[in-house]
Amino acid sequence: MFVSAWMPVKVLGRFCLAAPLLLASATQIRAAEATAVSPRQSVEELQLETSDGIRIAAWYYPAAEDAKADATVILVHDLDGSHETVDTLARSLQVAGYAVVAPDLRGHGESGLRPDGVRGDAGDSRLLKKADLESIAAATGGSHRGQAALRGEIEAVRNWIKQKSETGELDIDRLCVVGCGLGATLASMWTAADWNWPPTTSGPQGQQVRALALISPVWASKGISMSLPLKSDAIQHKVPIMVLAGKSDRDAIRLFDQLKRYRPDAWFQHRVEQSPEKARGLETANDGTVFFIQTNTSLKGDDLANDPASNAADRIKTFVGIALARKPE
């Protein structure tokens, strides 16, 4: 059975709730070791483009050269962040055996804000409007995904991963998405769009996201809302989801409570200063599909993702291992 720091274990046929999070010191040591080792591993800069002509910079953190990646992760930073603000998490996941692609969203870091802009013309990300944010998560238009009329930066990253999958370097069938802050909301919107693509006579062209990790997800900001992806059957029932948040994050609690209503028999939660809880009838946490892990911090978004004490990389690895062990829907 799969066991980790936040995972209850089945002992003598009974569900034990006593041990989660007691290994915090050990995971902190592993996180520190990962940060120390990862700079020696390679990072490659990519240049991508969206369907509306935005030039996007992204950073690829490949798994070790002598090993096939356990999973491929798209890592979406928070508003006002960039790949640099999630670099610690990306490198920790890289050391853990994952291949990671972290784009700079439009108007952030090295990515443009307007079509045909020059490199680094990001300007002020506060200028981003609702339509700009919706475009980031766009993946629709037409019957063939490769020719989709609307392709935002997350979709551009997915298409690059698909090309690498065709050559055997990556595996798009082990695709996971991690989003921070408003990036978690955008990641949810894109995941819903991914699951909307119907199969063709040549095979599936969507439903490739196998796990969705949301770090301090924002319920609503700048005209976009988590209520939109929550209308999707993928988010309601299909895709395994983990919500990781600080102790006072009301948006995260609101989201998890909504997900619990959609999945009343498949949830697990561990809140600060409370015993772990699970859905009635859930034998082990491994059988769950929606998880809420609360940490004793007020940090949010990219800051929480990079916080050694919160062990985001270790928790994500545990969650992804559970999700990938499940048979795809």
- Per-residue pLDDT, 5: 43
Task: Write out pLDDT tens, residues 30-89.
Answer: 444 444 444 457 899 999 999 999 999 999 999 977 778 999 999 999 999 999 999 999
- Per-residue pLDDT, 142: 85
Give the C-alpha distances (Å, rounded to integers) separating 328 from 212, 285, 315, 322: 14, 18, 21, 12
- Per-residue pLDDT, 327: 78
- Per-residue pLDDT, 326: 87
Helix %, strand %, coil % of the chain (to 5)? 35, 20, 40
SS3 73: strand
Tokens linked to 190: 């894109």
- Per-residue pLDDT, 9: 34
- Helices 312-325, 24-37: axis angle to 10 degrees equals 100
CB contact at 8 A, 186 and 136: yes
- Per-residue pLDDT, 117: 57
CA angle 296, 18, 212 (to 5 degrees): 55
pTM of the predicted model as reported, rounded to 2 decimal places:
0.88
Tokens linked to 280: 């009635």
- Per-residue pLDDT, 11: 29
| Domains by residue range for the chain, with CATH | 26-325 (3.40.50.1820)
What tens-digit pLDDT sequence spans the chain (329 residues)? 333 444 433 322 323 332 333 233 333 434 444 444 444 578 999 999 999 999 999 999 999 777 789 999 999 999 999 999 999 999 999 999 999 999 999 989 999 877 765 554 555 667 789 999 999 999 998 888 988 899 999 999 999 999 999 999 999 999 999 999 999 999 999 999 999 998 887 778 889 999 999 999 999 999 999 999 999 999 999 999 999 999 989 999 999 999 999 999 999 999 999 999 999 989 888 899 999 999 999 999 999 999 999 999 999 999 999 999 987 76
Bridge partners of 101, per DSSP, are 60, 74
- Per-residue pLDDT, 17: 32
Give the C-alpha separation, 306 to 191, whole Å: 23
Give the C-alpha separation, 37 to 93, whole Å: 12
